Homo-oligomer: A and B are copies of this chain.
Amino acid sequence: MTILWTRRHILSLADFTPEEYNAVLQTALSFREVLGRRTKKVPALQGQVVANLFFEPSTRTRNSFELAAKRLSADILNFAPGTSSLTKGETILDTAKTHLAMGTNMMVIRHQQAGVPLAIATELDRLGAKVSVLNAGDGQHEHPSQALLDLFTLCTLINSEEPRLEQLQGKKIAIVGDILHSRVARSNLWSLTAAAAEVHLAAPPSLLPQEFSFYGRERPGRLILHWELDPALENADFVMALRLQRERMTDHLLPSLREYHQRYGITHERLQQCQPGVKILHPGPVNRGVEISSELMDDPDFSLIAQQVTSGIAVRMALLYLIAGGEKA
C-alpha cells in the first residue's frame, strides 16, 4: 500500500484534503504498532535533525514531539527561548536560519503569535531550503497535530484496524469551553467539518462569537453554535472539553470558576443526555473540577484523555515521517 504525500510543511488544516487526513491516519496506525513492541524504535529518520523551536514554553507538546522524533531515531535540537540569542536581539527568522545552517531537516515551531510558523516556512522556501516546518501551536490560530491526534483517537475507537476520516460522517461532536481563544478548537473545526461530522459548539457568548460559523461554510459537515450546554450534549457521540485559561477571569470574560463549572462543566450527570457510550476528550492539562468533574476525568469508561496522549506519539511520528518523505518503518 503506497501513501502519496507532497506537502512539505504542516501549518494549518484549512486546506487538508481527505486523502491527506487518511494518509496521516494510516501512517499513524503503523507507528502505533511499533509502539507496542518491546523495542519501540525505527531507524526511519536516523541522522536527520529535528529542531524544537518552542518560543512559547510547553512541556507536554514538546515532550511528545521529542519522543516521536527519538522513536524515529532522529537527533533533536531543543531551543530554550529563555537563554537564547533572542534575548540578545536576534530576530525569529535569524534563529530559524541559524538552525537551517546547522543542518536541521525539520523545524517544529510553537509561538505565542499567530502566523510565525507560516512566516518562517515562507522565508525558508524563498531561500530554496529543503526544510519542513511543523506548526506546534501558533497563538490562537492553529494546532494541527493536536487536531490530528484527536481525529486518530476518534477513528481508531470506531475502527481500531482501519481508521478513516469517513467514519465520523454524521457523528455529533460537542466542543465545549473557551472556543474564542482556542487554537485546538480551530484546527478541530477544519478536520471535523472535513469529515462531515455535525459539530456543536457550546460556550458563554463572550467566548463564542457568531463569526465562528465561518468555519462551517462550504464544508461537508455542519457547524451549530450554542450558548447553553444541554442542546450541544443532547445525543452527542463525543464531547470535547477545552482548557480554560484562568486569565479569562481577570479579563472579565467569565464569572467565577465555580459558576463556569455549574453552567459548562462536564459531569456524569450531564452526560446522561448523550448517546450511550459517549466519550470525552480534552487536550490537557485539565483544570480538574472546572472543565470536567474530577470523577469523570478518572473514569475510564468515559475518558479518552490518556488515549489522546498515546495517539499523540504515533500521530507526530507519522507527521515527521511523511514530511521527511522517507521510506516506511
Contact = CB atoms under 8 A, between A and B. Distances in A.
A66 B77 contact: yes
Contacts of A312: 102
A88 interface: yes
A149 B208 CA distance: 54
B89 A313 contact: no
Given A41-B46, A66-B77, A97-B306, A85 B103 contact: no
Nearest to A294: B91
Interface string A68-101: 0011000101011001110011110010011011
Given A66-B77, A101-B310, A48 B59 contact: no
Q: Which of A75, A103, A305: most chain B CB closer than 10 A?
A: A103
A310 B59 contact: no
Contact of A285 (B89, B246, B288): B89
Given A59-B84, A60-B85, A85-B285, A310 B103 contact: yes
A88 B285 contact: yes
Contacts of A79: 59, 63
Interface stretch (A4-12, A32-40, A114-122, A209-217): A32-40
Interface size class of A (residues with CB under 8 A): 35 or more
Nearest to A62: B83
A182 interface: no
A88 B71 CA distance: 28
A77 B70 CA distance: 10
Contacts of A85: 59-60, 284-285
A102 B100 CA distance: 29
Contacts of A307: 101
Interface in A102-134: 102-103
B47 A39 contact: yes
Nearest to A76: B70
A239 B288 CA distance: 49
A306 B100 contact: yes
A26 B70 CA distance: 32
A286 interface: yes
Contacts of A80: 59
Contact of A286 (B39, B60, B94): B94
Nearest to A59: B84
A187 interface: no
Nearest to A56: B83
A48 B57 contact: no
24 contacts: A39-B46, A40-B49, A40-B103, A41-B46, A49-B67, A58-B83, A59-B79, A59-B83, A59-B85, A60-B85, A63-B77, A67-B77, A70-B75, A85-B285, A90-B286, A97-B306, A98-B284, A98-B285, A101-B305, A101-B308, A101-B309, A102-B309, A102-B312, A103-B310
Given A59-B79, A90-B284, A98-B309, 5 more contacts: A39-B47, A66-B77, A94-B285, A101-B305, A102-B313
